[in-house]
Amino acid sequence: MVVGPDFMTEVDEEHFDEVDALLKAAFPTEAEARLVKKLRADGDMLFEVRKPWEGRIGGYFALSRMQAPEGWACLAPMAVRPEWQGGRLAERNPNMEAAGLKDQMCRGPWRFGSRMLQQLQSYYEVFPAGLQERLPETIVVLGKPSFYGRYGFSLERAQKLISPYPLDCTLILRRGVDVPEAELIYPRAFHDGGC
């Protein structure tokens, strides 16, 4: 029995409309959908990932190339189908209750965003050096430290960065324990915003 969403896969051009629909449903405005289109058009998209479940996209995130520092990426946007956020997919899944897993229904395997971030974190922590060398040196995210901090992103390690966005919601994921000093220059598509 499969417990939880399917494995993450890359987004291909055939998935663009599905991603666009997810972004428009998951956010109050179409800003994130426009951001993704602009990142693609500008050639700043490193890669896009989707997490399907039963033939539908459930979760998505994009990594785009920072203008500076070289080799760094930005995680944005990240989205989960609204009706499946917060473990609600598990709450309505009769297979979980029938299998005697009712107490585990809202744990990690059914939380799309959490599961995607856990997999991203594992790439930096447990995968062989060959794969790690193909990853961006550092991934920057703007968001809630209480959420992203559970998945290897560090608020403390970002505090010596110079950013157009508030440092109280800027976190980084990278190997090691250093506190880098650098100026963050986001892709052109990020012309305004914050956390």
Structure tokens that stand for 58 in this block = 């459930």
Please report which confidence band the pLDDT of residue 5 belongs to, taking 50, 70 and 90 as the band edges: low
* Residue 104 clears pLDDT 60, i.e. is over it: no
Can you give the pTM of this predicted structure?
A: 0.82
- Give me the pLDDT at residue 96, please: 44
Q: Domains of the chain by range and CATH?
A: 9-141 (3.40.630)
Give the contacts of 65 (CB within 8 A, at least 6 positions apart): 44, 45, 46, 73, 74, 187
- Give me the pLDDT at residue 102, please: 46
| Lowest mean pLDDT, pick from 57-71, 98-112, 160-174 | 98-112
Average pLDDT over residues 68-73: 96
* Residue 121 clears pLDDT 50, i.e. is over it: yes
